Structure 1
Amino acid sequence: MSGNINIRRDVQDSFYRYKMPRIQSKIEGKGNGIKTVIPNLSDVARSLERPPMHVTKWFGFELGAQTSMNADTDRYIVNGAHDASKLQDSLDGFINRFVLCGACKNPETELVIQKDGKNITRDCKACGKQTKLDMKHKLSGVILKNPPEKKKSKSKSSEKVDKKDKKEKKSKKSKKESSEDDEEDGDLDAGSDDEFTKRLVAEAAALPPVGEVADTGDWSVDTSEAAMAKRVAELEAGIGKSTLIDNDEEEDEDDSDNPYAQLASWIEEQDESPSDVDLFKKIKELGIDTKHRTLQVLGVCLFDENILKELEARAPLLTKLIGDSEKHQKAFLGGIEQLIASHEKLMAGVPKILLEIYQNDLIEEEVLQAWGAKASKKYVEKDVSKKIRKAAQPFLAWLEEADDDSEEESDEEDDE
């Protein structure tokens, strides 16, 4: 079973902000040489903001096994046979003792080695408190010898100025990119008591479920089977090449060799939804694993009316392909727009879809806000783009309000 899960598994709220990939295990070898490889350990460690070595060593201490790791090849091994559920249960212990704040139980912490060089504290970015680690545990000694990389520290006043400048720059950049497009065609606490989340959940509950037809007025997209078949044919023939190849990608190939159309056609031809492994192999084979347009194709072709469930299952692969690239994030949102345009029933569930994308850390908050600020005809008709953003308003309002509240809290801390 793949997909993201809550970092605190005792929290059942699906809107809980802090997520991590479900741990995977692969048993190799036989007899005395049997070992367990954890293929996604680096992704799990990254979501916890801890070095992979710390997590690997934890498993070694808790399971009484030798460990080995190679950061260059991203390979982490625990000797013996350990299934994923056993590793996941053990990881809960690591999270409780070395990640969660001792005061508010929030995972947004940073390990800080004290000046005496003998003690370690968890510096919580949520409540501001510092709580001590249990120095009796063997892993604490490992952390002292192998501390996490220090983040550049800034004064609160300089952080505020930087944040303001960053927002102004992003706002200008967003306006510029929106203009080019037209020319071309909160901190949640551990108990999930955050008022903004409660409000969004209530508003989302009042919306028709994803899959039910909503009255969205005049609709200009033909969603019949014949129209859908035509869309796929256009992708295959390269007729829709303007939407699948960006201007900065050279069009030195014949339409029939368009790798994006080939990927779309391959996905449509599968009897069942392809696995992440097969999908990634195909993308690598086509040589487009680093291209942002790949994310657009996946957004429109990989999902259907069950997108809420499918997004969580596909999150690890999408995270790998998107990385930290803003261009990739925008392309993925463009593909989602095209998907919604092709499935009228999804219009009512736009806030839920965006929330699922946000909760799985696929798109950054600033990118979502810039996307919602202005409609674009780059991926769909302008009137359809406006309708999608109008439907997204409950989510965008929550996002903006949560961000404003976070800034107010920062100002209050400075005043103190």
Structure 2
Amino acid sequence: MASGIVNIRRDVDDKFYRYRMPLLTTKIEGKGNGIKTVIPNMSDVAQALSRPPTYTTKFFGCELGAQTSFDEKNDRYIVNGAHNADRLRELLDVFIDKFVLCKSCKNPETELVILKKGRTEDIIRDCKACGERTGVDMRHKLTTFIVKNPPVKAKKGKKGNAGDAAAEDGDGNESDDMMTKKIKAEAAELNTEAALAKEDWSADTSPEAVKQRMKALEGSMAAAVIGGDDEGSDEDVNSPYSVLGRWIDETRDDVDDPKTHAIAIYKKAEELGIEKKHKTMPVIVQALFTDDVLKQIEGYTPLFAKVVTSEKHQKSLLGGIERLVGLAYPDLLPVVPKILMAFYQADIIDEEVVTQWGTHVSKKYVDKDTSKKVRKASEPFLTWLADADDDEDDEEDDE
């Protein structure tokens, strides 16, 4: 049985290409009219493509004019008839082109979104790399199967995929509005301790004071690379992190199109060799955002979707938020819940990560007192997350 790992895009020969998948394998079972092709690693291949294994299996059936069957519990996916592995691999390439790769940038970091328009539905690929949304060919038979079997919403602790989110946007605006209103109300009703915290954060807003805070920020950027984020590290204004921070700060005010600027930021980080480093997250947050952060986040969502690739990156992003509201713009303390909600709804931070962050004070990015105040301000958002989970559990119990 053939095995191995191959590039998702078979036309890319680069052995360092980051998007990889297991080589599709097959096994012929039965004989005569009962002969069938079993695909032992269909789940692994589909997982690498971020698609349900039923989609790929059904696609083979549509292309070959064959019946298909799935036994998801036992991880068994079958196409009736005898089909060699090479033929199915060729068809898998076609599936990837039609239902996975972004039509704009050819990146596989996409999610299928089902949009309802009256009595009809459209399926689009939502690209997390470039931010483009491109349609699929609705004439293909697989689209009917996808509409009838949309991606299953993730259970507690995992946010649903882009398809679920889009469906909610099309038909669940009322739910989104209620959620937003609830967050706003809770953020406005921070308890007395949080209100006092805000008073403690009263800061000198004179130009000289702002310059001093920016100098401190630049020093913290340098410390991120010199001492692994340890306190007391020597500053290095020539580190790639400091260079990136200064470059973003210098170009930020001349931005006409956030999307273009986001691409430029990524290319600059790539040029400096730190585009994949988790320590880059606090630098981007501190240098990019201002006191208008709530409006700015939306325009730079594709950038964060590109660079935040692990739990460690998420924690560093949250560390950047601590520095942003704790050192540069202390008046933003009351809107911390809204900042977290924006990143959560954009699928940048996960529930488990932000919940753990919110309940564990740390001196990694700011002093302990500042860390406490930022987490205290985040309580309305954390409470909303907990309540949402409780509601989901209650619905499951009712079923």
TM-score with structure 1 length normalisation?
0.52
Check if 1:296 corresponds to 2:320: no
Residue matched to 2:200: 218
What is the aligned counterpart of 1:406 among 377, 392, 395?
392
- Deviation at 1:192? 2.5
Check if 1:242 corresponds to 2:218: no
Residue matched to 1:367: 353
Distance 1:49 1:408 in 2: 29
Q: Considering only aligned residues, what root-mean-square deviation do their CA atoms show, in Å?
A: 5.0
- Deviation at 1:344? 1.9
Residue matched to 1:263: 244
Residue matched to 1:333: 318
Q: In structure 2, do the counterparts of structure 1 residues 401 and 141 end up closer, same or farther at CA, with 3 Å as the change threshold?
A: closer
Q: Count residues with an aligned counterpart.
A: 271
Residue matched to 2:342: 356
Pairs within 5 Å for 1:3-402: 74=101, 76=103, 93=117, 96-97=120-121, 138-141=139-142, 190-193=172-175, 197=179, 200-201=182-183, 203-204=185-186, 206=188, 216-219=198-201, 224-233=206-215, 241-244=222-225, 247=228, 255-270=236-251, 271-273=253-255, 275-323=261-309, 325-341=310-326, 342-402=328-388
Distance 2:245 2:104 in 1: 36
Distance 1:394 1:266 in 2: 35
- Provide, for residues 158-213 of structure 1, a one-character-per-residue CA deviation record: whole Å limited to 9, x for no partner: x99xx79x9xxxxxxxxxxxxxxxxxxx99772524797276245157469xxxx9
Distance 2:307 2:54 in 1: 22
- Provide, for residues 108-141 of structure 1, a one-character-per-residue CA deviation record: whole Å limited to 9, x for no partner: xxxxxxxxxxxxxxxxxxxxxxxxxxxxx63225
Distance 1:233 1:302 in 2: 15
* AA of the residue aligned to 2:239: N
- Provide, for residues 300-350 of structure 1, a one-character-per-residue CA deviation record: whole Å limited to 9, x for no partner: 111011111100110011111103x11101101111111101212211211
SS of the residue aligned with 2:121? helix
Distance 1:51 1:77 in 2: 22
* AA of the residue aligned to 2:141: S
Q: In structure 2, do the counterparts of structure 1 residues 195 and 403 end up closer, same or farther at CA, with 3 Å as the change threshold?
A: farther
SS of the residue aligned with 1:363? coil
* AA of the residue aligned to 2:242: A
SS of the residue aligned with 2:363? coil
Residue matched to 1:173: none
SS of the residue aligned with 1:242? helix
**Residues 243 and 379, structure 1, Cα contact 8 Å, conserved in 2:** no
Distance 2:341 2:280 in 1: 22
Q: Which segments of 5 or more consecutive residues in structure 2 lack a partner in the other structure?
A: 1-48, 59-93, 106-113, 125-137, 159-164
* AA of the residue aligned to 1:340: V
Distance 1:301 1:47 in 2: 36
| % same residue | 37
- Provide, for residues 49-95 of structure 1, a one-character-per-residue CA deviation record: whole Å limited to 9, x for no partner: 9989x9xxxxxxxxxxxx99859x956269xxxxxxxxxxx976599
Q: In structure 2, do the counterparts of structure 1 residues 207 and 245 end up closer, same or farther at CA, with 3 Å as the change threshold?
A: farther
**Residues 221 and 282, structure 2, Cα contact 8 Å, conserved in 1:** no
SS of the residue aligned with 2:199? coil
Distance 1:319 1:410 in 2: 31
- Provide, for residues 20-55 of structure 1, a one-character-per-residue CA deviation record: whole Å limited to 9, x for no partner: xxxxxxxxxxxxxxxxxxxxxxxxx97999989x9x
- Deviation at 1:410? 1.9
Q: In structure 2, do the counterparts of structure 1 residues 370 and 222 end up closer, same or farther at CA, with 3 Å as the change threshold?
A: farther
* AA of the residue aligned to 2:314: Q
**Residues 207 and 349, structure 1, Cα contact 8 Å, conserved in 2:** no
